[in-house]
Amino acid sequence: MAGMKTSKDYQYSADSEIWNSLKLAIAASSGFKRWLLERDTQFQKLRLDEQVQGYLRETLETLAY
């Protein structure tokens, strides 16, 4: 039955909504904006998803030290 949603579909939908909310909150933060300004213009042309992932990766790597 192609039209039926499974619990996995609903979980993906919920995860996607959470990620979108989190991504927008991070993108609105002053730390992210300052970090993005320090990046080259090629990086600034990436999709917001990729920018936020890069920001989170760098931030977590910095915290790990």
Residue 42 resides in a domain? yes
Long-range contacts of 51-54 (CB under 8 A, 24+ apart): 51/27, 52/23, 52/26, 52/27
In this predicted structure, what is the pLDDT of residue 13? 84
Which pLDDT tens digit goes with each residue over 10-65?
777 888 999 999 999 999 999 999 999 999 999 889 999 999 999 999 999 999 87
Q: CB count, 10 Å around CB of 43? A: 12
Residue 21 resides in a domain? no
Residue 6 resides in a domain? no
Say how many domains are in the chain: 1
Does the pLDDT value for residue 4 go beyond 80?
A: no
Long-range contacts of 9-12 (CB under 8 A, 24+ apart): none
Does the pLDDT value for residue 2 go beyond 60?
A: no
Residue 45 resides in a domain? yes
**Cα 22 to Cα 5: distance, rounded to the nearest angstrom:** 25
Q: CB count, 10 Å around CB of 51? A: 20
Residue 8 binned pLDDT confidence (cut-offs 50, 70, 90): confident
Residue 39 resides in a domain? yes
Domain of 42?
32-65
Residue 48 resides in a domain? yes
Residue 51 resides in a domain? yes
